[in-house]
């Protein structure tokens, strides 16, 4: 059983800070380490609780174009930075396993925010088995406003899901991610919000700096899509976002909200 009271939790966190290496090994193998959201109080855990099990990793994603659009609109317009769900999707394109769930902590913006517009063709209908889609009858054109020449360092951590095997530990997945990123291996090509906007990736440099045009500034992005809960109905969750000194975080905080989908399995 994990810590139930605030006093218990404070003692655990104090032990972790004093003995980080020992705490990582012990907590990662504890019976409660793989609990899903159904066993948690609420749908989120704090960044400190996630770090208590698995310290963060950094991966660089970059590309010529990006479009991180929220709910579909007649004339789609991108957010000024990747949504946490889009960043999670890029990481899962590199490494996904049923045993782990990625949590995006911060997105570091390394280049200026630049925009472009283009006309895109879209199909309004969906394919259903036995019913062909005649593209000429349901094609529509929209003006897309997106980002160009983007470069990000995604800072993330992961927690275990209930599907974690008894022999699986944090080091296995850290080594797996490091190997795949260094070799350029992925399950499928990551993309920047749209599948036609390819994302390239590589290990984040040991030292990196946010773009100079964003330093010393705070840009309020308003409500941003966080992620979705899937069940009988799809529930979109939002949060107040801002870019502070070139880093995407939750407004008034120094990290993004830690999201747990229903069931805690990342589905």
As given in the structure block, the two tokens for residue 55 are: 């310290």
What's the confidence (pLDDT) of residue 42? Answer: 35
pLDDT in tens, 61-78: 999 999 999 776 678 899
How far is the C-alpha of 44 from the C-alpha of 250, rounded, in Å?
A: 14
Least confident interval from 132-141, 145-154, 178-187, 258-267: 258-267
What's the confidence (pLDDT) of residue 229? Answer: 86
240 pLDDT more than 70: yes
Element containing residue 10 per DSSP (H, E) = helix 6-18
Which domains does the chain possess?
15-250 (3.30.70.2660)
* Start-to-end Cα distance in the chain: 25
pLDDT category of residue 28 using cuts at 50, 70 and 90: very low
């Amino acid at each position: 059983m994990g810590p139930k009271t605030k006093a218990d939790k404070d003692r655990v966190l104090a032990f972790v800070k004093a003995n980080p290496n020992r705490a990582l090994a012990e907590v990662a193998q504890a019976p409660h380490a793989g609990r899903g959201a159904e066993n948690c109080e609420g749908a989120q855990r704090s960044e400190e609780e996630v770090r208590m099990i698995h310290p963060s990793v950094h991966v660089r994603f970059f590309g010529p174009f990006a479009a991180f659009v929220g709910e579909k609109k007649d004339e789609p317009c991108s957010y000024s930075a990747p949504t946490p769900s889009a960043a999670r999707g890029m990481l899962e394109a590199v490494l996904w396993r049923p045993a782990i769930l990625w949590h995006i902590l911060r997105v570091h913006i390394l280049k200026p925010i630049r925009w472009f517009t283009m006309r895109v063709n879209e199909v309004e209908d969906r394919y259903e088995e036995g019913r062909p889609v005649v593209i000429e009858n349901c094609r529509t054109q929209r003006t897309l406003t997106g980002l160009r020449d983007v470069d990000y360092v995604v800072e993330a951590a992961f927690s275990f899901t209930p599907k974690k095997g008894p022999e699986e530990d944090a080091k296995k997945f850290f080594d797996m991610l490091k190997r795949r990123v260094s070799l350029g291996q992925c399950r499928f090509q990551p993309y920047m919000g749209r599948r036609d906007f390819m994302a390239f990736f590589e290990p984040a440099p040991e030292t990196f700096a946010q773009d100079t045009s964003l330093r010393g500034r705070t840009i309020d992005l308003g409500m941003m899509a966080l992620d979705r809960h899937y069940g009988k109905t799809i529930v979109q969750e939002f949060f107040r976002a801002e870019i502070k000194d070139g880093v995407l975080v939750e407004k008034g905080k120094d990290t993004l909200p830690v999201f747990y989908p229903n069931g805690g399995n990342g589905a």
